[in-house]
Amino acid sequence: MTQEEQVPWKWLIENVHVQNISDIIDESHEQVEGNLICDKRARNWNVKRTGNKIKNLQYLCKNKKKIVEIGVNGCHSLLLMLLVNPDAEYLLFDLNCHQYTVPTINYIKSAFPNAKINVIFGNSVETIKNYIVENPNELNSYDLFHLDGGHTEDIFSHDYHHSKLLLNKENGIVIFDDYQIPAINSFIHKKISENEIIEYMDDNIIKDEPYLHFIYKYNTHV
């Protein structure tokens, strides 16, 4: 049995930044929302289930210059991206409903002092719309969008719409998280049937069952 089989993702769960984020979450005495690394408790490791999502996220964010993430939570996915691409410009939106979110963001900023990280708190339905109005030069300028905010259609449909405005239509890629949730699954397939989006195909993308996120580009030929 290999070391990876004995302790899945040992290199990640022993990473100093993962451990420090876990300490911050523990100190908040709050249950952590499920994420790519842990679930409910800071060291209840979830990586055996989410390992392929981690690989896909890190693969797709390499060499990207401008990345948007909706749903920062405890900074786990942000950290995963920074570990392979500390030079990108990160635009983050989060509701800020957890006591651990601001402390973990502050930690990440101190741990990666050269990273360009802009965080905007509030309901993404309003904050992203306002950001677009106030920053029209940012339209169509982002390479990657990690959409992991609210899981009800009244929220994620707006996040979808705003991602379309910010993303570079020719080369930009969207990772829509929690594809296994029926409402999200139905929404995505509706957009495929309407020829708005096309699944992003790449031999390096790992698809398993259940497929926990959906990766797509916008259809520029309609």
Q: How many CA atoms lie within 13 A of 108 on its CB side?
A: 29
Is the CB of residue 174 less than 8 Å from the CB of residue 147?
Answer: yes
Q: Identify the helix (H) or strand (E) that includes residue 34.
A: none
Query: pTM score, two decimals?
Result: 0.94
- Residue 7: per-residue pLDDT: 52
CA dihedral (90, 93, 97, 103) in degrees, to 10, reads 20
Report residue 159 as tokens: 């996040």
* CA-closest candidate to residue 119, choices 153, 136, 96: 96
CA 84 to CA 88: how far, in whole Å? 10
CA 101 to CA 109: how far, in whole Å? 12
Q: H/E/C letters for each residue in 179-199?
A: CCCHHHHHHHHHHHHCCCEEE
CA 10 to CA 194: how far, in whole Å? 43
CATH number of 51-218: 3.40.50.150
User: What are the mean pLDDT values of the chain's consecutive 10-residue runs (222 residues total)?
Assistant: 57 97 97 95 95 96 96 97 97 97 98 97 95 96 94 89 92 94 95 96 92 94 70
> Cα separations (Å) of 96 from 44, 73, 120, 122, 206?
22, 8, 9, 7, 31
From the centroid of its chain, how far is CA 36?
9
- Residue 221: per-residue pLDDT: 75
- Residue 215: per-residue pLDDT: 97
Q: Domain residues of the chain, as ranges?
A: 51-218
CB under 8 Å to 11, separation ≥6 — which residues? none
Report the chain's C-alpha Rg in angstroms: 17
- Residue 220: per-residue pLDDT: 86
Q: How many CA atoms lie within 13 A of 64 on its CB side?
A: 28
